[in-house]
Amino acid sequence: MMRHLSSVLRFLLMGAAVAALLAGCSSSSRDEPLFYNSKRPGGQAAAPVQEVPADILTAQRGFTAVSRAVTPCVVNISTVGRRTIVRPLPDLPPFFEEFFGGPEVRQNRSLGSGFIISRDGYIVTNEHVVRDAASIQVKLSNDKVYQARIVGGDAKTDIAVIKIGARDLPVAVLGDSDRLEAGQWAIAIGNPFGLEGSMTVGVISATGRSNVGIEPIENFIQTDAAINPGNSGGPLLNIHGEVVGINTAIVAAGQGIGFAIPVNMAKPIITQLVATGKVTRAWLGVSIQPVPADQLQRLGVRSTDGALVAEVIPGGPAAQGGIRSGDLIVSFAGSQVRDPAHLQRLVAAARIGAPVPVGVVRHRHHLTITLVTAKADDARPLRSGGRPR
């Protein structure tokens, strides 16, 4: 009996203790705020980190300044493609459509970005953003919307210029992409997935990327600043807010691998598009290929730099200048040739009809040949079916 009373008494005492503890917690919680505001705007709590390194604060202010200064120059581009007619049974005559249904009419829609280069409404974007567009709508950062027309486009570099009817617009400042180095800050502003004015930050991962398989003429800046669908045509910026590239493509299978067209490559193309609506390039009149490693000894060179001439088009600029099949082109207009893609870019940028010195290696001898380039429109087909340069 005494043991039973003792157990009951212990149980009652434990219950009272628990009740007192709960009452104490309840009373204490009512004295505490639901959340803590920072003291910096006049709240109750100090910031968890009091001393932020000065260089981090400086970098943050730099990114904010770039966003405020450049975002008004970036536009949102939406297009409606030309109508396409899809027949349900294309092999049957139109008579059977009465029974199987008529053709289906579709319109393609796409989103992209661009940046304003003149106060009277010239805008640079990617050619693939406005390709086959029946209508183009441009939305500015102040929410004003304009209809745009295509001034000109260049599919080989994926650059286009469009125009809106506006005045006194904010303009982007074009920088010098030749001064870029891996590791420098890279800032992208655009409209990924229609999210207007989005800014992402990364670094320049590499420069001079070619043979990527995106465009016929490639000299890409690689960056890990996040680029997504809808960023195409928007600017890639340095920390000064200068445009150093035009965001163009991503590697869908990877992360942090985006490509931008160098602005120095784009400047002469933009100039031609505004002036004439098209791009006219120089033509050399040769078929070229990489230098095989097993031919270094025959050529008398130590590296695979340069472009080996596989075929010379009769009557073309190269043939008239004296270049032969089997020659190794090692320089063009004073620039050392790294590979066939590099030579293609040098020729495309050359003045048409002007004398150009070309350095070649022939039978282990170095020669300098002067030739005059012609228009690429005058290019003749190669017998082998290759692409002329």
Provide the annotated active-site residues: 128, 158, 232
User: CB within 8 A of 304, min separation 6: which ones?
Assistant: 290, 291, 292, 293, 296
Q: Is 250 strand, coil or helix? A: strand
Q: Are 78 and 137 in contact (CB under 8 A)?
A: yes
Place of tokens 């770039």: 66
Radius of gyration of the chain (CA): 32
Q: Is 288 strand, coil or helix? A: strand
CA nearest neighbour of 234 among 67, 80, 108: 67
Place of tokens 């060179």: 301
Determine which helix (DSSP H) or strand (DSSP E) holds 75, and give its type and residue range. Answer: strand 74-81
Q: Are 350 and 363 in contact (CB under 8 A)?
A: no
Alpha helices in the chain (DSSP H): 2-29, 54-70, 97-100, 127-130, 263-276, 296-299, 317-321, 340-349
Q: How far is CA 262 from CA 57, 158, 169, 269, in A?
A: 30, 12, 24, 12
